[in-house]
Structure 1
Amino acid sequence: MPRNLDMTALRSFVAVADSGGVTRAAGLLNLTQSAVSMQLKRLEEGLGLSLMDRSRRGIALTAEGDQLLAYARRMVSLNDEAIGRMTSQEFEGEVMLGVPHDIVYPFIPQVLQKFAAAYPRMRANLLSLYTRQLQDLYRRGQCGIILTTEQEIMEGGEVLSDTPLSWVGARGGQAWRRLPLRLAFARSCIFRSEVVDALDRAGIPWEMAVEAESERAIEATVSADLAITADLEGTAPPFLERIPHGGALPELRSYHINLYVSEVIRGKAELALADLVREAYRNPVTNPAVNTAQTDLLPVPENP
């Protein structure tokens, strides 16, 4: 049978070691001296070890006591952190994270899952809109943490990734071979003007086959091989693929994925959510979902 250390006894042990005596420790813990002494005795009996050298005047730790003290401090600290996080009103409420449709995968599901595990009393709401709409909400203070896809960066932002824009079509599709080239883009999509300008410079005729604010409508049209679109590499849904055009279509520029955290964000939970986003982008090698998305274009979130 595994044995468990008594957290109350550990707390008394740490207090005695730090304060230098049972009397002071009892005052700090708001306990009687006899209660603290009893807890120390119980801890020693449970371990079968002598933790205090009582042959001297005052309190001194034995070698075993010194070794236990480091563990005891960590255990008490972790206990207090867990209790505080689970019960403190500081970790209650909700936080909103704004992310463009096209970069929700592969990282954001993992970020939200980890945040929910660390802050179970906080409610994380994902707001998925286009970059321009998220920027507007951010400026108005209606969304304190946002990701954007931009070629520049606004004041106060930080670049998390620099990702190429690539042509995307149906798996095995032929729509990219037909002229005029039929395109499918939302009216608010920030990539639309980039694609149109690139085609115009290359002298390739085109027409807009779909103009809608619904990503589903665009995906359905492209997957039916009735048009093509453009997405950041590694973010296309599994039923679409990068077009192997071999230079028949113009190369597209890269875009920054930027993070903005409002200066009014001060809560530990909100700042922790922003840190989780940073960590996801800065350490993609350790994330199997990223490797899958970049090779097979399958946005599969990690299950930690």
Structure 2
Amino acid sequence: MPRNLDLTALRSFVAVADTGGVTKASGFLNLTQSAVSMQLKRLEEALGLSLLDRSSRSVSLTSAGEQLLSYARRMLELNDEVMSRMTDTAFEGELVLGVPHDIVYPAIPQILQRFAADFPRVRVQLLSSFTRNLKSMYGRGEIDFILTTEDGCDVGGETLSVRRLVWVGAIGGNAWRDRPLRLAFGTHCIFRTGVQRALDAVQIPWEMAVESQSDRTIEATVAADLAVHAVIEGTEPPYTEPIPHGGALPELKSQSINLYRSELATGEVAEAMAALIRQHYRAV
């Protein structure tokens, strides 16, 4: 009697092969690590073969695993094609998108609106946090796409735009003239250390005026003319403006807006999301 392979186990196997480990694959599949490991074990038992080399810290495929991977991809592609053509659920599901708070506007609302019109049955979960937090979550396989603001770009990322970092303060404010200069940055803000070093390099004394993880708290402090902040040019918060300091404050480094996309974010839906992100952020 013919035996059947478990497509769910094959999907887990492909995910582990693509991501290089059970931990990251479990995040992308929204399963526990033990569930993924159990599916892999059942697949190996069904075939009577060892598919993964577990002798080192990173997971690699055995020769049998390499051969199965090719078959598994074709089987899953055919399965997904059948489900796409024979049912009305081709574009259902969820994408998780992580974006730093300071570059949400104006692009993200436009991206979400267009994407919802094209794929009304796909849910987009938007997460807003600091770049470091987003990269950690992405590394654990919890996010499909992240945008980051960084000095450069790590392996696997794609730089969409390079923009100046500018000083911002209250509209018509004078806090930038005070010494020590009062700064408002979140503890984990990726711009914080660079700004402090730039001030130290030109011997401008400074102090932290606010310690908060709330972007709204930081924005309110700056808008009240109690401190200054730095943002990517063109993303100034409401009630603030670029500071016309005339060279009294140091120039700041340019920042890259980068896109990172998970290995498992494939197919027409993911391609459409990636295209929309590129389109809007390259125009920032």
By how many angstroms is 1:265 displaced? 1.2
Matches within 5 A, 1:26-105: 88-105=88-105
By how many angstroms is 1:267 displaced? 3.1
Counterpart of 1:249? 249
Matches within 5 A, 1:1-304: 88-282=88-282, 284=283
Maintained 8 Å contact 1:151/1:255: yes
Maintained 8 Å contact 1:185/1:211: yes
By how many angstroms is 1:152 displaced? 1.4
What is the one-letter code of the residue matched to 1:176? W
3-state DSSP of counterpart to 1:137: helix
By how many angstroms is 1:266 displaced? 1.5
What is the one-letter code of the residue matched to 2:94? E
3-state DSSP of counterpart to 2:160: strand
- TM-score, normalization by structure 2: 0.68
3-state DSSP of counterpart to 1:90: coil
By how many angstroms is 1:147 displaced? 0.3
| Aligned-partner Cα distance in 2 for 1:142–1:118 | 24
| Aligned-partner Cα distance in 2 for 1:275–1:156 | 17
Report the RMSD for the aligned CA atoms in angstroms: 1.3
What is the one-letter code of the residue matched to 1:174? N
| Aligned-partner Cα distance in 1 for 2:206–2:237 | 24
In structure 1, runs of 5+ residues without a counterpart are 1-83, 285-289, 291-304
Maintained 8 Å contact 1:158/1:260: yes
| Aligned-partner Cα distance in 2 for 1:281–1:88 | 32
In structure 2, runs of 5+ residues without a counterpart are 1-83
Largest Rg, 1 or 2 = 1
3-state DSSP of counterpart to 1:208: strand
What is the one-letter code of the residue matched to 2:144? G
Maintained 8 Å contact 1:90/1:267: no
| Aligned-partner Cα distance in 1 for 2:96–2:271 | 12
Q: Spell out, residue by residue over 1:51-92, the C-alpha distance to the aligned partner (whole angstroms, 9 max, x if none).
A: xxxxxxxxxxxxxxxxxxxxxxxxxxxxxxxxx79x632311
How many residue pairs get matched?
200
Structure 1 runs of 4+ aligned residues shifted over 6 Å read none
3-state DSSP of counterpart to 1:89: coil
3-state DSSP of counterpart to 2:153: coil
| Aligned-partner Cα distance in 1 for 2:233–2:100 | 14
| Aligned-partner Cα distance in 2 for 1:102–1:227 | 17
- TM-score, normalization by structure 1: 0.64
Q: Spell out, residue by residue over 1:183-232, the C-alpha distance to the aligned partner (whole angstroms, 9 max, x if none).
A: 00000100000100000001000000001100011011100000000000
By how many angstroms is 1:264 displaced? 1.3
Q: Spell out, residue by residue over 1:72-125, the C-alpha distance to the aligned partner (whole angstroms, 9 max, x if none).
A: xxxxxxxxxxxx79x632311111110001000121110010000000001111
